[in-house]
Amino acid sequence: MERRCAEDASHGDQTAGPPRLKVLQWNVQGLRPKRHQPQGVEVLALELQVGGLLLLVYNIYRSQRHQLEAGELLSLASHSSVLVAGDLNAHHPMLQSPSPTNETGRHLAVLLEDIPHVRLLNTGEATHTRGGRLDLTLVSSDLAADAIWEVHPTLTSDHFATLTSLPVAPPVPPRPPPRWNIRRADWSRFQASLDKWWADYQPPDDLHQQERDLTAAIQTAATTAIPMCAPSRRHRTDWWYYNDEVREHNHRVNLQRKLYKKRPNPNNLRLLQEVVALARQVSLRAKEDKWLEWCATFSQHTSLGQMWRSVRTASGAAPPRPAAHLHPQQEAERLATIFTSRGSSNQLPLHTRRTQQQLQPHRDEAVREGMEVADMTDRPFSLQELQQAKRRGRDTATGADGVPYSMLAHAGPAGDAALLATLNASWTAGRLPPAWKEADIQPIPKPREPSKLRPISLLSCLAKTAEKMVLSRLQWHIGPSHPHIFGYTRGVSTADSILALMTHINHRPTVAVFIDLEKAFELASPHAILDTLVKKGVRGRMLAWLRDFLQHRRARVRFQGHKSSFQEMENGTPQGSILSPLLFNLLMEQLVALPFHTGTVLLSYADDLALMVTGKGNKLRKTQQALDLISEKCQDLGLKISAEKTRAMMLKAADPAWQLRVQGIDLAWTNSYQYLGVWVDKRLSFTTHAAYLRERTQARLNVMRAMTRPTAGATFSVLRLYYVQAVRSLVDYSALVLLALSPNQQERLEVVQNTAMRTMLGAPRWTSACVMQSETSLVPLTTRVQHITACRISRVLQRDAEGVTQRRLRLAATQGVDTLRRNPWLLQATLAHTKDWLQADLPAPTYHAPPPWEPHAAVFSATQLPASKSQCITEEMRQHALMAIAQVTEPDSAVYYTDGSVDPDNGRTGAAAITRGTELCERTSNHCSTLQTELVAIQLALEHAHHRQEPTVMLHTDSRAGLQALQQPHPKDNVGLITTILGILQSIAAQGRQVKLNWIPSHVGVRGNEFADAAAKRAAGGPQILLNHPVLSMV
């Protein structure tokens, strides 16, 4: 038996032109029909959907002894796209068959005349090896015009295979919905709309309704005050840098070109040439500004694909359009099921699930008891906390409500009052509005695995603002985290974790186990987190609010304009949440704080765990005991260790014969492992990482060379910034381990920078590296590695937390150089810092960190200028400064003017404060920063004012950065100096007196400021340093 069937369907050839669907027909032996057909007729029916085409394919075989009735089949072409093909054994002149006409041929000829929606595609070419034309292909008329029918030259039996190509329109992805054009917002009108709504609004008792009313009011105000813009799909080669200035000059060129065409004379030609030249300069400047903006966002974490996309965009290529899915709604539902199932308890081992079930009643009871206990954090949120939480940078993707941070920042007094009322209603009730517990998941392809999608959770900005306020109270309540917790910790990065690893190994034989936690964030148990909060002393409304925050959360997937239904998340910390990092760290803190043996340390950066065992005794036995402890604790916390991905490494020693085990599975010994982006090898030579680094930098240098094309238009400034941000940042990230490279390896690394400098300058290969370094203002990489290491070590030593890193570095600083000769890395690290940095930069003992709801001990104000300082004339700034001084200064107040001075030639620094003929001057340490000298001047004024009796202390300073540093809730640098000033402010406030700090512009003719400036310069020239401060600004 013999039949024809549709064999293949695909998006057609790779040549230019519209996509095409190809259907191949060929003899197939022994196939059974897919549906019941008349005797002697076999049909294989297929439904193909490719792009925007839904095609019904019927492949027919009719024996010579049976008749075919095809009227009903061909009539489908009137409302569907149909392709009918096969061995019909039909002969008729209309069918281009030379054989005598038979009954089936006459039947098909009549149908082709009666049904205009069907066309015959055959060209008269033989389809049988004996020259017959037995195989026919009929297709819908709307597809026949561009259809291509041909006989396959090689695929044959007694019949030749036929290939039919049909035009396919690619599916059009849905247009993105219109969005608010924040850049053209009328914020005064926006605030007026909220003011009017809030004046007549009475908050209901229903929290859900109150949240919906607030969201609706913000959206209504945005609709009236912010224009909408719809993303355009038109491609312009200059779209990526096009701005108002470019548009204006292009308009002038068009006007001048029309004028020249109307009146072609030499004068108009000269004017046209001038306008065109100016427009080109403006376009080049706009290109450079956009390139600099792009390059400033690049870092060592930026994917190579994103950099190449920027180059292609700058070269005029059209941005790629995402391929539309055939069934976006079904795909959204499928992805939602996949993403939510990742946090299901079924992902955990059976014994872990049983442990969670056994612990849950006790944990729930402890949480219920804790919620009933009153706590000092139960008080409502203050306006100060809200304003502190709203301080942030640019807008990010919004949740389902579409309200960005900029709308909350410009909400005005009425908007703040409405938002604060909703937050406090949620806080008092101990639960969140349902909309604050819902997430929209946007799947994006992974950079290295585009076929796999990464879920990006988008949450309401209103909810995240509330989380910031709760986070501030929670951090104040539970205090600092464990010193071996490095992820999501203020002032700590991956470099600190790598530094801790290196210092603990200390060039000694060490067993290292790099533990992989499978789906750690998705599987983290909410009950375990709440139990940890109870143990940390969290009580009352905060515990109730966090309990509701973690439970019964829902998510849906947004995919190509379609949204799936909501599905509940069983476990895990919410992705994209402000609170999630801290809550996850609470679980990791229980792991790193386990009672290990001496010489055993567990380091945690998020879910990357590194277990290090060193010292005397049987290290393998200690390691196995530590792994057993960690496994048991993970079982209590609802975490799952992936033994298949966990690796063990024997550093500075041969691999032992004994195998370490996790959950009954042997761990594989490895010679190298990539820990936090750095390849650690068992010999600690880091040659593997050096080779990896050269490979990555070379790939990014290729992008840099492509940026030099004339079409890309990257200037020297752009190329240098790209190198610093995208290439040298890779070296900076690895500086702590590159310090251990041999001189030969360091020289090979310098080739990377030399190549980049030649590309920037267009210099020939024989150009001296010293000359290029001078032209580009770049230091050798070896020198930079030493500087970065020195800065990192100084910051670690000045941190108030005492961990394994601080202890080992302080010990190394007391040992002689000869003692450290056998440990090259620690020797270089010890030589990289100075004795001035051995003391920790601790908070002042007179300072007590206030709770977040407590108002600041001082009142801060600033002179309001009509424009930026660089755009105002001196006399104008002087008038505004005098008016501001008159407004904030009260009668019978102690008035101070402060200033600091830094001599750039010799590095001398000084600080001064003056008040009513009294001059307070101090010479500070050489090479202090301007900020440090300004803060010292403020300290001098406040120390003097502390012993006076005036009810108000008025201090005028020209250091805006100094006032901003004093308003930070958690100072990062100059901790001792800033907290000393804050301690004095608290002491003056305790006397019942008020301190006002006011910013005025410098060098505008304000007499008090000029006197303070002159006094600070005299102090800098003093013979003796009276105040010493650590100088971190020099590294």
Q: What is the pLDDT of residues 466-514, one digit of tens each?
A: 999 999 999 999 988 888 999 888 878 888 888 888 888 888 899 999 9
Q: What is the pLDDT of residues 784-829, one digit of tens each?
A: 988 888 888 877 777 766 777 777 777 666 655 444 445 555 555 5
Q: Which CATH class is domain 2-167?
A: alpha beta
| Token duo for residue 552 | 């019964």
Sequential DSSP letters for 235-248:
--TTTTT--HHHHH
Sequential DSSP letters for 369-410:
HHHTS--GGGSPPPHHHHHHHT---S-----TT---HHHHHT
- Choose between 947 and 236: higher pLDDT: 947
Does domain 859-1020 correspond to CATH entry 3.30.420.10?
yes
pLDDT for 26 equals 47
**Backbone phi, psi, residue 55, to 5°:** -115, 130
Q: What is the pLDDT of residues 35-85, one digit of tens each?
A: 444 566 787 888 877 766 778 888 888 777 777 777 777 777 777 788 888
How many H helices and E strands in the chain? Answer: 34, 31
**What is the pTM (predicted TM-score) of this model?**
0.81
| Token duo for residue 292 | 């600099």
Distances (CA, A) of 153 to 156, 158, 393, 453, 620: 8, 13, 64, 42, 68
Distances (CA, A) of 303 to 179, 672, 716, 722: 28, 24, 23, 14
Nearest by Cα to 610 from 618, 600, 620: 600
Question: Percent of the chain scored above 70 by pLDDT?
Answer: 89
Q: What is the pLDDT of residues 12-41, one digit of tens each?
A: 343 344 555 555 554 443 333 344 445 667
| CA–CA dist 957, 896 (Å, integer) | 8
Q: What is the pLDDT of residues 525-567, one digit of tens each?
A: 999 999 999 999 999 999 999 999 999 999 999 988 889 999 9
Of 151-155, 416-420, 850-854, where does the model show the most confidence?
A: 416-420
Q: Confirm if 841 and 798 have CB atoms less than 8 A apart.
A: yes
3-state SS track over 144-193: HCCCEEEEEEEEECCEEEEEEEEECCCCCCCCCCCEECHHHCCHHHHHHH
Looking at 300-309, 579-588, 608-617, 832-841, which range is the least confident one?
832-841
pLDDT for 30 equals 35
* pLDDT exceeds 90 at position 417: yes
* pLDDT exceeds 50 at position 8: no
Question: Mean pLDDT across the stretch 1010-1015?
Answer: 92
| CA–CA dist 723, 784 (Å, integer) | 14
pLDDT for 253 equals 93
| CA–CA dist 19, 13 (Å, integer) | 7
Q: What is the pLDDT of residues 857-885, one digit of tens each?
A: 899 999 888 888 888 888 989 999 999 99
Residue 772, phi-psi category: left (phi > 0), alpha (psi -120 to 50), beta (remainder): alpha
Question: Percent of the chain scored above 90 by pLDDT?
Answer: 45
- The per-residue pLDDT of the chain, averaged, comes to 85
Domain with CATH 3.60.10.10 in the chain: 2-167
DSSP E strands: which ranges in 773-931?
Answer: 859-862, 893-902, 909-915, 918-924
Q: What is the pLDDT of residues 290-327, one digit of tens each?
A: 999 989 989 888 888 888 888 888 887 766 666 677 78
| Token duo for residue 869 | 């300082």
**Backbone phi, psi, residue 959, to 5°:** -105, 95
Domain with CATH 3.30.420.10 in the chain: 859-1020
Dihedral sign for Cα 412, 414, 420, 426, please.
Answer: negative
pLDDT for 4 equals 35
Distances (CA, A) of 317 to 233, 280, 888: 13, 20, 57
pLDDT for 233 equals 58
| CA–CA dist 380, 421 (Å, integer) | 9
Long-range CB pairs of 201-210, under 8 A, 24+ apart, other chains included: 201/418, 203/421, 203/422, 203/425, 207/422, 207/425, 207/426, 207/429, 207/431, 207/433, 208/433, 208/434, 208/435, 210/421, 210/422, 210/425, 210/433
pLDDT for 226 equals 93
Question: Mean pLDDT across the stretch 733-748?
Answer: 88
Q: What is the pLDDT of residues 347-404, one digit of tens each?
A: 899 999 999 999 999 999 999 999 999 999 999 999 999 998 887 667 888 888 999 9
